[in-house]
Structure 1
Amino acid sequence: MQVLHADLATGQLTAEMSAPADGCPAGPFDVDLPPAYDNLLPLAAALHPVLHLVGPVAQPGGRIRPRRVVLEPDYLVNVTTIAECAQASGTIPEWALLNAFLPDETSRPLVVGNLVNMLLDEEVSHAAQQYEWAAGAPADNAGSQVENSDLAPADGQPLPTDNPQLTLDNQPLPAEFDLEGFFKRRLFRSNPLTISALPDFQTRTGVPELLGDLRRHYRTLRASRAQGFIAGSRTGYQQQPLRVADCFLEPSFLSATYGLQGRLDLLHESPTGYDIIELKSSTKVPHGEPWSNHAAQAQLYRLLLESVFGADGATAGRGRTSILYSNAAPDQAPVRRVDQDAELVDRLLSARNQLVGTELLLARATGPGAVAQLLAPVLHPNLAALPPFGKAKAEKMAQAWAAADPVERAYCLEMTRFVAREMRLTLLGDDARPGDAGGQAGLWRLPAARKHQNFSLLDGLELSEDHSNAPDTARDGLGPTSSSGARPGAAKSTSGPATRSFFTHSVKLLALSC
């Protein structure tokens, strides 16, 4: 719906449908905002934006009261960006904006986290390949099992084989994932610059310590996978093991209902719902409930899935969401459950609305004064309200701004306004510019004919070769590959504007550093 009028004094919000729809008011109507979304009123008054009402209920007098409200739902924000606003002391909407200005820094925990994610992918993929081989194994092998019982699928079915050396696509497949071989042949190749440039890895003990940490994380991953990622709980939560054959690694989802996008670490599909496993390699592992920002991330991922697969469908709320802490001590449960928390979701969506509204106001700002006012939480942060780990970063930001001369400040403010306009153009497009109509949102807003014209829809391709399961030594060391080509008889595009790439991840507005 499109906002027509917002009165800050009375709290009245009037809107109308953006397009006629059955069962919806034909003319303007008033909206009763839920208490969790009261911060929308000033943004609605300034922007007159598009709002999506989730679960609207008609009230006496023709008023509409929704369960949730999403500002500019086509403006997608990364789940991780919003989840970081959730801290033990509460939800801090300003943290998302402040974090956008902090310089990206490569640290040892970040590198280790990326490598541990790779190990999870390798472990689950290897186990799934074994399961696929077992499903198609010859009948005379059906009675034997792999010597190491940890390699059996989580559902308890044995893997038939005469020896611990399986084959897939005519290539040998070891019974266990070769961790040491991964270290020797693939670890450095996958992250050469990061590992070489990080000071922590340039000492004599740096790399051995890294490998030792990865071995410890991998032991937890392997044990959790072998147990089916069962959460430590006596309440019956997630007691059924997850089948590796039904797992999807790092699937990406977007929701034009809630204005969110994200990439899950592991998704499991079953008749009872969709199970989410989010991997965390944190140095510190909580003794009880997951850390607040981790739980918030899992909550939003659950919301994404319910939006994609139907919040009112048979699987709504039936999926299980868990955090896997790969650095958990031997006496700690690595898999932690995350229960549904509707109030937390409301606070997170409210923080998302605040961030989107601020970025759109920055794009509309008419001068440096308006930009500086909108960036007050960044330039003059309230340190007392920030999480402990963020105070030093925020203080550094404030000091950099205080030390900047007038020219540097003017450049910073104007650059911020420019980047905000580009962000809006990338995500929402500009109907006045034919090549930019729809922006990223054109993926679901534009008709198929327009997508073909923009080269954003290429449905004339088919997979011609699939060697994605080939070993790393295939193709003279180039590794797995897949290729596609034009389907015979497929139509060819002969006209249309030049293709423009639209980034699907949030970009930094600007990085200020001392």
Structure 2
Amino acid sequence: MTEEIQDIFDEIRNIMQPDMDCTARYHALDALLLRALKDRTRHSPVDFTHTAARLYWLCKQTGHPSHPLEVFRARAGRIQKGLFLPNGEDEAYDLKAVCEGLAAFYQTHVPEDVQKRLPRHWRPAPTPAEKVSQAKRIRITVHRWDEHFIYGKDHTHPTEQLLKVEYADETDRTFADLKEQLYEGAQLNLLSVKTIKAEGAYPYVLKPEMLVLDPDFLIDITALCACIKPYGYSAYTHLLNKFAPPARSAAIQLGNAANQFLDDCVNENRDLERAKTSENEVFRLGSAERERFIQNRDLEREDRACPESAGRERFIQNADGTAETELYLRSMQNSFRLSPLAWSTLPDIDRDFFNRCEMQFRHIRQTVRNSFSAAGIDIRQTEVELEPSFLCEALGLQGRMDLLTRNADKLVELKSGKADEYPYRSPKDEHRLQMALYKEILYYNLDRRHEQVQSYLFYSRYPGLYAVDVPRSHIRRAMALRNAILHIEHRLRRGESRALIDELTEERLNVNGRGDRLYTRYLRPRMMEILTPLHGMRGAEADYFHRFLTFTAREQFRAKVGDDRADSPGGFSETWCCDTLTKQQNGNILTGLKLHPVPDEEGAIVRLDLKLPEYGEDFLPNFRQGDMVMLYERNHEGDNVTNKQFFRCTIEEIHPEHMLLKLSYKQRNAGVFHPDSLYAIEPGYMDATFNQAYSGLFSLLTAPRERKELLLGIRPPATDPSVRLHRHYLNEEIDRIVLKAKQARDYFLLVGPPGTGKTSVALKSMVEEFLSDSPQKTLLLMAYTNRAVDEICHTLSAINPAPEYIRIGQELNCAPDFRPRLMKHVIGDATSRKEIYEKLAPVRVFAGTISSLCSQTELFSLKVIDVAIIDEASQVLEPQLLPLLCATTAVNRGDYNLNRLAIGKFILIGDHKQLPAVVSQPREMSRVTEDSLQAIGLTDCRNSLFERLHRLSSLQGTKNIVEMLHRQGRMHPSICEFVNRNYYNGGLDAVPLPHQQEPLAFGTRPDDDRWTAFVAGTRMAFISVQADEAEYYTKIESKQEQTELAQGLPNVGDSSKSNKREAETVARLIHTLCQLYSRSGIPFSPCKQIGIIVPFRAQIAMIRKALAERHIPDTADITIDTVERYQGSQRDIIIFSTTVSRPYQLSILSEPVMTDGREIDRKLNVALTRARKQFFMTGNETLLRNCTAYRKFLDFLSKEQILRL
């Protein structure tokens, strides 16, 4: 029996203790089974969209019957929802199912002592319940299928006999393509199911109206309907749309403005309609502004990009001072503030555009004020909800509606474009279907029957409200299209992208075979702009594209439905698949929230104040300021985000007793929020990062040849040795680095080990040098995280004189000190393109996260970037950078090679020996095998562009474009010695700063005990926390408890992700440090000078509890966090609680990689190098020595540096 399965059965013994709560026992068994399933399937080539799929596959591979485990999982789900209370017999047989299953999975036997406590034989299977004649939905795991029938297991009510499902017959072939789309273990939702009696081996046949493949992989309704083109329905359009550059046009901007008009017209406060405009309003059309407008209108009319625009003249003449005028101006300004760069750079924002804006505004306001209340429609403004969002697991869809009444019986979708106008005006097919699918969501999420919901398409161009009714056959066809999209996604993950791109032809897209003027002149050219580059790929370019396309599809899949990593919190589908207790343990849900709406000055609800209940001292939420969350009503255990409407919000403030949320879309009706209800929040999810990566891959195909060949290693980077510095900097090393960065013509790489001042010194010096080159030179400074961008802004502020710069991003993600530099504040009251240009003209530096800049590429239409400096570059995957590095200016000359690059030279600053980008797929999947890619340094897709170019420089012999910072000013040499010797080849030297030369602040005394002397006199230490002595655990009396602690096992009910003994040791350590500083008379602030690193969030709560029990002053605010959160931070004293108590957790704690010929543990490197003066590690020495990296560390320490308790 392996150590791993021994550990699992130790946990089983722990769970079997009689005093454990039934719900807790089932939760622990279910979690243990899930962990085992992930472990035994992590090397499988199969994609698993659900735990049931893992269970089916593993049982089939091992030959173990799946039914007992399926019954256990179904029962565990009902128990954890409070829907079932098992008896002793149920528990015994469920325990037997789990134990025998685990033994089969690990090819061993159930230990004798455990076996004795299990039933010897299985009890007879209960008589199957009579099948109901109809069911709203049934989820099955597919086992097999033929031309007409699918055979699978029901999740909720598993039976030994498979269910037989008819999916196609001679008269109905809508879902016949499932024959090619299904795979063993696939998840399938059966909707509106009829049960038909049959003869033979299967007494019943299920006949669903619709079948939904892989429903946990949600597809946006907008994306689905985008596959409905005038030339036909095709799932290949979904693949084509992945690569389409971000859409930018006046028509799209008009649509955005129309949505803003609808929001503002619905939120219009009629009591203020005739109020005069305040003198203090920024955008008041006062006499001075009016005169200025009249004088300049003929000269600047086509430059106007917001309220004081061409459309304003007519308002001045015809409606001066009216509420409608002011609302229009305010609404236009609101739209402008949301996307000032788009308003300022689109070429078609002219007089005609603003005339159309004015017209649409009038139509929208007229419709909201009059048509909504008309007989037969009866939509009351006070009952309206704006932009309600839904996740529908039943349909495998998600969507955001424009307008819904409070009781979900009226639905309105706004369209600013054209309807079908021939042979008569009517809604477009894709718009009709969009509305129909929204109604389906209301049926499956809120139980609103189709006939109870009136749906209207509102074409604001005309205007017109069209009542929409769609035949069921069209909805079924749309769901079949969704299944086809999922099949394409599945093929992408399987590595079939080459075949898919070959199949992506004009003929497959133009299903209807159109060849008319509309198609040939407008529709086909747009299609070919994407198809031509895709079919023109060759050699390394094609290998690169397809390898990263597969990699990105796999990452997106895991982000949506989960991955194989041990104790991973899972993907977005855990929102509805995971039980509440697990989500609470992961800190990913807050329940029992009382809500208080906070109105703005006009009475609309913009913010929500949530009162937090008392969760208990062990609970630690995983929410931070700036996080996007989903808010929904949750009054019962069964309430979740898939059977409720939710509101998209951002956390504006978070405090111990309450939090403040900002709604993404303000609501006029406070009654939308029920003061007597309880609410919950869970993390939100967006596909934006993946969408940027897909379009980034395509941008490489259309990039100018010089950049494409550079990135693909076809040509080496060039340098200009004749370039010289304008001045000297901090020291000779910085001078050399800045000079090489300046001499590089294409790119430069700077390796910045911990504490070497890569941002505060090196980046700062580069900025100063580049800005001194020319008054016209423009810089773009980026980083992966907002915190790093804040540090860049701090660095810019330290330059004398400080350069003018703009921060790109959202206010809540920006430190308060730098918010005045956000784009919206710098632009201020600018109301025309000319004024925006004037405000941006002196700005020579732009800063933001990579993600923010990828969504704001309009900047490149205003500014050509001479140099881009990317900090934290080793934490960024290649496809995430491509949209920027391959971007061109707004001028498109047709021939890609003639287009001007938006970014001239780029500098990457990072350290590939510290934390990399987070990747969820295993290395076997991300590893690169193509010779053409290995030749350019690409060995693994999980590596950053920084690391690849660093490797490529060695292959090409271009080491003049690579430098490394050698002088570190953070760690005392005694702390730095291990990483310097083992990770940096002895290349790090102390600056030295005073703290790197001084002895420890407090010496030892003769009367100090062993513990105190150790803490006082050791720079770098390991404290072995094992149950060798009972002095700290006098309450542990039984031999069994002592044995469990010695093995590192948690007590009954404790999570294996926390370790009470280590937490108490950490608290004792901090208490001793406080005493040492106090007796030495040295000022000491634990919350500022001590940092605690842990691998699991559960240990944070355990340590906080231990600190609270000791009542140590100034320790409540000590930062305790994971190593991932600590990168970029430092403290005088770092305490690293390794926490691990089980062998399987070592793979979570340590992920060694080969870098520069050495095995590097990046997490350990980061943990060690956060400390300036002292470093303490606590842990189970016996267990840690099973890990190579930690064994090396422990062997490096002298016996005086290890304290065994």
Category of TM-score, reference length = shorter chain: 0.7 to 0.9
C-alpha displacement of 1:43: 1.2
**Hey, what's the Cα distance between the residues in 2 that align with 1:481 and 1:242?**
22
Tell me which of 226, 242, 263 is aligned to 1:100. Answer: 242
Amino acid at match of 2:143: L
Map 1:311-350 to 2 at 5 A.
315-328=449-462, 334-350=464-480
Residues 480 and 390 from structure 1, CA distance in 2 versus in 1: closer, same or farther, beyond 3 angstroms?
Answer: same
Question: Given the alignment of the two structures, is residue 410 of structure 1 paired with residue 543 of structure 2, yes or no?
Answer: yes
One-letter identity of the residue aligned with 1:210: F
Aligned pair partner of 2:441 in 304, 307, 313? 304
- State the distance in 1 between where 2:161 and 2:216 align: 23
2:330 to 173, 182, 194: 182
What letter corresponds to residue 489 of structure 1 in structure 2? E
Counterparts in 2 of 1:381-420, with a 5 A limit? 382=508, 384-385=510-511, 388=519, 390-420=523-553
Match of 2:486 among 356, 374, 393: 356
Call closer, same or farther: CA 1:115–1:16 in 2, change over 3 Å.
same
Q: TM-score, normalised by structure 1?
A: 0.77
1:210 aligns with 2:348: no
Contact 1:306 1:317 in 2 (8 A): no
Given that 2:165 and 2:205 are in contact with CA atoms closer than 8 Å, whether structure 1 keeps it comes out as yes
1:372 match: 498
- Tell me by how many angstroms 1:303 deviates: 0.9
Residue 492 of structure 1 deviates from its aligned partner by 5.3
Structure 2 residue aligned with 1:121 = 263
Question: Which letter does structure 2 place at the counterpart of 1:395?
Answer: M
| CA deviation map 1:311-340 (0-9, x unaligned) | 5xxx44221111111111xxxx51112113
Contact 2:261 2:331 in 1 (8 A): no
Partner amino acid, structure 2, of 1:95: T
Q: Secondary structure at the match of 1:382?
A: helix
Structure 2 CA distance for aligned equivalents of residues 17 and 183 of structure 1: 52
Distance in 2 of aligned mates of 1:117 and 1:357: 33
**Is contact 1:107–1:198 with CA below 8 Å preserved after alignment?**
yes
User: Hey, what's the Cα distance between the residues in 2 that align with 1:373 and 1:94?
Assistant: 12
Q: 1:321 to 1:177 in 2, by over 3 A?
A: farther
| 1-structure distance, mates of 2:148, 2:334 | 59
What's the secondary structure of 1:436's corresponding residue? coil
Any conservation in 1 of the 2:214–2:396 contact (CA below 8 Å)?
yes
Whole-angstrom CA distance in 1 between matches of 2:483 and 2:553 = 16
Look up the match of 2:591.
459
Question: What per-residue deviation string (whole Å, max 9, x for no partner) do you get for residues 7-32 of structure 1?
Answer: 3xx444221213426xxx55213221
CA gap of 1:248–1:379, structure 2 versus 1, over 3 A, is same
Q: 1:280 aligns with which of 415, 423, 434?
A: 415
Larger Rg: 2
Shift in Å at residue 406 of structure 1?
1.1
Find the aligned partners of 1:400 and 1:300 in 2 and give their Cα distance: 34
The answer to whether 1:13 aligns with 2:161 is: no
With normalisation by structure 2, the TM-score equals 0.34
Task: Quote the sequence identity (%).
Answer: 23
- 1:234 corresponds in structure 2 to none
Does structure 1 retain, via aligned residues, the 8 Å contact 2:587–2:620? no
Q: Which digits, 9 at most, give the CA deviation of each residue in 1:61-84, with x for residues without a partner? A: 332221110011111100011112
1:265 aligned partner: 402
Q: Report the Cα distance in structure 2 between the residues aligned to 1:467 and 1:393, rounded to whole angstroms.
A: 46
Q: CA deviation at 1:467?
A: 4.1
Q: Provide, for residues 184-218 of structure 1, a one-character-per-residue CA deviation record: whole Å limited to 9, x for no partner.
A: 753432221111122223xxxx2x44332211001
- Structure 1, unmatched stretches of 5+, are 134-145, 152-163, 232-237, 473-478
Deviations 1:96-148 (A, max 9, x none): 2222222212111001100110010000111xx44xx7xxxxxxxxxxxx9xx
CA change 1:228–1:242 in 2 (3 A) is farther
Cα separation, 2, equivalents of 1:282 and 1:391: 20
Q: 1:504 to 1:177 in 2, by over 3 A?
A: farther
SS state at 2:371 partner = coil
Alpha-carbon separation, structure 1, partners of 2:613 and 2:446: 33
Check whether the contact 1:113–1:280 (CA below 8 A) recurs between aligned residues: yes
Q: Structure 1 residues 393 and 434 mapped into 2: Cα distance closer, same or farther (>3 Å)?
A: farther
Letter in 2 for 1:282: G
* Preserved CA contact (<8 Å) 1:266 1:278: yes
Secondary structure class of the residue paired with 2:267: helix
Cα distance in 1, alignment partners of residues 608 and 427 from structure 2: 41
* 1:33 and 2:167 matched: yes
2:245 partner amino acid: P
Farther-moved stretch of structure 1 (220-229 vs 102-111): 220-229
Residue 192 of structure 1: aligned partner: 340
Which whole-Å CA distance do the structure 1 matches of 2:445 and 2:544 have between them? 42
Note closer, same or farther for the CA distance 1:47–1:90 as it changes in structure 2 (3 Å cut): farther
Cα shift at 1:382:
3.1
Cα distance in 2 for partners of 1:334, 1:178 equals 24
Matched letter for residue 562 of structure 2: G
Aligned to 1:448: 580
Aligned length: 439
Q: Give, in whole Å, the separation in 1 of the partners of 2:403 and 2:549.
A: 36
Distance 2:409 2:229 in 1: 27
Provide the C-alpha distance between the structure 1 equivalents of 2:332 and 2:244, rounded to a whole number of angstroms. Answer: 35
Q: Deviations over 1:262-294 (max 9, x none)?
A: 000111245xx6111110010566343201111
Equivalents in 2 of 1:463, 1:418: separation in Å?
42
Q: AA paired with 1:3?
A: V
The match for 2:607 is: 482
Specify the alignment match of 1:91 in structure 2. Answer: 233
3-state SS of paired residue (1:426): helix
Deviates more, 1:422-431 or 1:83-92: 83-92
Aligned to 2:371: 228
User: 2:192 matched to which residue of 1?
Assistant: 55
Deviations 1:135-189 (A, max 9, x none): xxxxxxxxxxx9xxxx8xxxxxxxxxxxx4499xxx9xx9657234316753432
Letter in 2 for 1:399: T
Matched to 1:225, the amino acid is: V
Cα distance, 1:493 vs structure 2: 5.4
Q: How does 1:130-145 map to 2 (within 5 A)?
A: 130=270
Given the superposition, is the C-alpha separation of residues 63 and 403 from structure 1 closer, same or farther in structure 2, using an over 3 Å criterion? same
Give the counterpart letter for 1:308 in structure 2.
N
User: Which deviates the most, 447-456 or 411-420?
Assistant: 447-456
Contact 2:231 2:509 in 1 (8 A): no
Deviation at residue 242 of structure 1 after TM alignment: 0.9
Change (3 A) 1:483 1:280: closer
1:435 aligns with 2:568: yes
- Once residues 684 and 490 of structure 2 are traced to their aligned partners in structure 1, the CA distance between those partners, rounded to angstroms, is 18
Post-superposition offset of 1:4: 0.4
With over 3 angstroms needed to count, the CA separation of the structure-2 counterparts of 1:118 and 1:109, relative to structure 1, is: same
